[in-house]
Structure 1
Amino acid sequence: MNVIPFQREEDRFLDTYRTHLFQDKKGQTAEDYGYIVAAFVKWLADRPMHEGRFRPDMISTVAVEMFLNRKRTVKDKVTGEEREEPYSVSSKNKMRAAVSHFCTWLMDQGLLDKNPARRVEIPPHPLMAPRILTDDQRLVLRTLVERQGDLRSQAIFALGYWAGCRVSDVSWLKISDTHLTIKSGWLRVGHKGGKQREIDLLNQARRPLYEYLQERLNDDRHQDSEFVFTSQRSGRLTEAGIHHWLRTLKEKATKGEWELIKNVTFHDLRHDFAHRCREAGWTLEEIAYYLGHITKQGAPAIQTTARYTQVSREQIKEKLKLL
């Protein structure tokens, strides 16, 4: 029986796997897989029946499922309070992929007969009604952006809130795809799936973007970048960078403001934009075109748009009053 004592970072067994890992995977993926596998091995060894020792034949489908279903402790950045919450579906998928890669390597080493991780099923997110922001949430978010004061933040927020852009639309927006003047403007967006579309901008979206670009012309940093939004480290502000920007913005809220907007994501701005379009009388086809919900044949993907704009209980409650 193959019994391998677990010795944290000094464990030669994990070191051997990491050597293979960094030959097979690259960059951040290799780093992430290495971290996840080390956590899995330690978690498995720490089970009472294993007495601090790791045995490859102890890996089972049930063990992998329980590892993925653990909860993590997170600290509220405003209140400082700690709470436990499950990992997201995307995080679970990455963890399963890492453990599966580890199991495949164990099989190649003759230490495991089959890959238990392949049998683990991760249910998708339950279909939930998209977020419709309340007037108070809209007030807090727009006030925070105004309070921030910089044109870059105003432009990023405006593209989500006033143009319904995806995070990828904003991150990959090129200067050559912006066509703005003092009085009008349109963009070519649609990095996701390579489905580009041309959209006209409301003044609330055009003005901050135009002013930001004018300011950027006088900034020597990243002048050679083809992208509209850059970061201190790169010539393009990544999707993760935009999520970080929003988290940083929300952290500047007061305690009362934080309670209102702590769970709002950048994608929620897109959902809310779709709802406001629907309330303004847009058809589903018009919303689908503007948001980029297009099928491979080029037709509006109404089913996707319908999920964005499905009614809420509160809306039905208000309509009951009209009977």
Structure 2
Amino acid sequence: MSDSRTEGRHNSGDNVFDNIPVGKDEARLFGEYLDSSDLSANSQRAIVNDLRKFARWFVDANQEPLTFARVTTRDITDFRDSLRRDQEQAVATVNRALVSVRRFCRWLCEDGHLQVNPAKGVKELRKQELAPKGLDRAQVRRLFREVELRNDVRANAVFSSIIYTGCRVGDLVSLTLGDLLLSERSGTAVFRSGKGNKQRSVPVPLAARKALVAYLETRPPVEGDAVFVGERGPLSDKGVRCLCDKYSVVCGFKIHPHLLRHTMAHKFLEDNPGDLVSLAQILGHENLNTTKRYVARTEQELADASERMQF
């Protein structure tokens, strides 16, 4: 019975570089490296593909056969950048190829075939930090339409409160009747259970005010002053998440409280470009860098454009 960890391994006689021009000893050395490694067949195939990729790039870029002794740090860096810039490969794919080359070069050093590992100081690419995802306009419309079709006034008030004020689920379930000040012309909600137990007062837009007023008119007469209640008392964090799960199934896309909070943040900046200070105050962020996540995509695009400059 064959061992899955050795099945398909390359021996030192295999030309793992196919028809790529390489030095006379390069294929043998790479074969020895594979034979000395305790890796599964799948892992070895991945490494072979990565090294072939590097060999093709080296030959094309330098117009000479691949000889490990002539590989420089500049070669490794340019190979990494070419995979990302020219071939538009995913960051994870680029980093895996870089790790494969680095480990092989380290083995060459340890076995005495190279004096210095040219890949040692080449850093992996940072994964692009994207702004937190929110629902798009069509999804928000679908959600509120399904809520209306079911005449679910409580769900309408819950979803409206989060989407229009950007509150956390903890803010929502801790909201009391005394924390709401609603009128036809304006509205305010005081959230007292924010991070660090710091309270904040935020505006309640018209759509959310209407949804809250409609719900409060039908709110069951229960003990306590919690705004949102269920069959067994105040609505809990779990209750809100169950409500989200219910409408996730109905709408056909994932819904959760923090996704709705992100939705509000994206829409606020879309309608109020660059006003991070106001958004931070509404969301309860003490550090403006936390709020800047919602514009991270644009900043990253600028950084990527700068990185593409070559001389």
TM-score (norm. length: structure 1)? 0.49
Q: Distance in 1 between matches of 2:214 and 2:139?
A: 25
Tell me the TM-score normalized by structure 2.
Answer: 0.51
SS, match of residue 229 in structure 2: coil
| Structure 1 CA distance for aligned equivalents of residues 213 and 264 of structure 2 | 20
Aligned match of 1:303: 289
- CA gap of 1:226–1:207, structure 2 versus 1, over 3 A, is same
Mapping for residues 204-219 of structure 1, pairs under 5 Å: 204-216=207-219, 219=220
Indicate the RMSD between aligned Cα atoms, in angstroms. Answer: 2.4
Deviation of the 1:167 alpha carbon? 0.6
Query: Shift in Å at residue 127 of structure 1?
Result: 6.0
Aligned partner of residue 250 in structure 2, secondary structure: coil
Measure how far apart 1:146 and its partner are: 1.8
Choose which of 249, 259, 267 in structure 1 pairs with 2:247.
Answer: 249
State the secondary structure of the residue aligned to 2:201: strand
CA contact 1:155–1:205 (8 Å) conserved in 2: yes
CA apart distance, 1:238: 0.9
Runs ≥4 residues deviating over 3 A: 126-129
The letter for the 1-side match of 2:231 is Q
Aligned-residue offset at 1:168: 0.7
- Confirm or deny: 8 A CA contact 2:157 2:212 kept in the other structure: yes
What SS does the aligned partner of 1:293 have? Answer: coil
Q: Which residue of 2 aligns with 1:148?
A: 150
Name the residue aligned to 1:232.
Answer: 231
Counterparts of 1:91-102 in structure 2, within 5 Å, are none
Select the residue among 280, 284, 294 that pairs with 2:276.
284
| Code of the aligned partner of 2:276 | L
**Maintained 8 Å contact 1:178/1:187:** yes
Partners of 1:161 and 1:241 in 2: CA distance: 17
Read off the aligned partner of 2:140 and give its amino acid letter: R
Distance 2:150 2:237 in 1: 20
Gaps of 5+ in 2: 1-127, 303-311
Percentage of matched positions with identical amino acids: 30
Among candidates 238, 260, 264, match of residue 269 of structure 1? 260
Count how many residue pairs are aligned between Structure 1 and Structure 2: 173
CA contact (8 A) 1:182 1:210 kept: no
Give the gaps of 5 or more residues in structure 1.
1-125, 295-300, 317-323
CA contact (8 A) 1:165 1:270 kept: yes
CA distance in 1, matches of 2:191, 2:231: 23
Give the drift of 1:162.
1.4
Could you say what secondary structure the match of 2:267 adopts? helix
